[in-house]
Amino acid sequence: MPSLLDPWSRRGRLPLNGPLERSSVDRTTLSFLTGLLGLGAAFILFQFLLTPVILVVQIAMAEGGLSLDAFASQEQLMTTYTQELVLSNGIGQVLGLAIPAMLAARLHSSNWVEYLRIRGVDGRLFLLALIGVIGLQPVTQWLAQVNQQLPLPESLRLVEQSQLELIRRVLDGNLGLGFNVILLALVPGICEEVLFRGYAQRQFERAAGPAGGILLAGGLFGLYHLRPSQALPLIVLGVYMAYLVWRTGSLLPAMAVHVAHNGLAVVAARYAKTQPDYDLQALEQASMPWYAVLVGFVIVGGVLYLLHSLAPRIRDG
C-alpha cells in the first residue's frame, strides 16, 4: 500500500488508501490540483451558498417569514441584522471550510486526522509560536501601511470596504466581547486552519515540497480574504503559520496563533471604544514606530531560529 512520509507520525508514514489515491493521474499533478480545487470549492460553498442560505433562514425565523424588504440595501441589512450576519459567517465557516476539508482528507487517507496534522504538540514549541505572534503585531501593522500605499483598482477597494464596514459595526455594536471573540477569532482560527494549513498545505507540500507548500498555503491565505489593502500582512501571517505547521508537525500552534492574532484585534478595538477619542478607522491606520517594527522583526527572527533548531530534537528525541 502506498504511504506518505510523515516524521511526526508514530509510524513515520501515513497510509494513502483513500479513493483519490487510486487515480491514475500523476501524484504531483493530483496533489496540486486537489489543493487548489479544495480551496476554490470551499470558498464558493462558504461565501456564495451556505452563508447566504443560513442568513436567509435566520432572518425568516426572526421575522416570522421571509420579506425581501430586509435585503433592500446593504446598509439596512448590516444595521438591522448585524448579529445574524456574523452568525451566518461563523456557521458557514464550519460547514463550508472545516468539514469539507476533513472529508477531502478522508479521500486520501483512512488516518485523516493525522493527514490534517491534528495532533498534540510539545509545550515549548506551542509557547514559542505564541511569542512569535506578539512580534508579528507591529510587523503586520507596518506592512498594512506599506500595502495601503500601493495602487489598487477602485472596484477592489469597494469590495473590501463592505467587509470592513461589517467588522466595524460588529466591534462598535453591543454583541459582547465573548460573542465577538468566538465568532471573529475562535471560529475562523480553527476552520480556516483546517482548510489552509491542514488540507491545502499538505497537498501543496506533496506537489512542491515543504518550501513550496508553505509559500503556496501562505500566499493563497492572504488572497482568500479579498482584502487587497491587507494582502501583504495577511500573506506574511499565513506564511508564518504555514511554517509552524510544517516545523512542529501539528496544526495546533497555527490555530493558536490565528486565534490570538484575531483576538488581540478584537480586544484592542473593544478597549479603544472605551476611550473618549475612539476611532476604529484611525486605529487601523495609526503609524507604527520604526523601533517597534525592528523589535517585532527581532522577536519573530528569534522565534523562527529557536523553532528550527529545537523542533527536530524534540521529534527525534
3-state secondary structure 256-293: HHHHHHHHHHHHHHHHHHCCCCCCHHHHHCCCCCHHHH
Q: Which residues contact 312 (CB under 8 A, 6 or more apart)?
A: none
Mean pLDDT of 267-275: 75
The CA distance from 213 to 244, in Å, is 12
Residue 280 pLDDT more than 60? no
Condensed to tens digits (0 to 9), the pLDDT of residues 181-235 reads: 999 999 999 999 999 999 999 999 999 999 999 999 999 999 888 788 889 999 9
Residue 104 neighbours by CB distance under 10 Å:
26
Contact indicator for 225, 234 with CB cutoff of 8 Å: yes
Residue 73 pLDDT more than 80? no
- Grid cell at residue 75: 446598509
pLDDT at position 270: 76
Q: How confident is the model at residue 155 (pLDDT cuts 50, 70, 90)?
A: low
CB-side neighbour CA atoms (13 Å) of 9: 16
Residue 107 pLDDT more than 90? yes
Reported pTM: 0.92
Stated as kind and residue range, the H or E segment containing 13 is strand 13-15
pLDDT at position 277: 63
pLDDT at position 113: 97
Residue with the larger pLDDT of the pair 139 and 176: 139
Query: What are the CB-based long-range contacts (under 8 Å, 24+) for 179-183?
Result: 179/83, 179/86, 180/266, 180/270, 181/263, 181/266, 181/267, 182/90, 183/86, 183/87, 183/89, 183/90
Mean pLDDT of 49-61: 90
Stated as kind and residue range, the H or E segment containing 237 is helix 231-248
The CA distance from 315 to 184, in Å, is 33
Can you name the residues that pair with 255 across neighbouring β-strands? none
pLDDT at position 175: 80
Lowest mean pLDDT among 112-121, 124-133, 175-184, 298-307: 175-184
Contact indicator for 102, 194 with CB cutoff of 8 Å: yes
Residue 94 pLDDT more than 70? yes
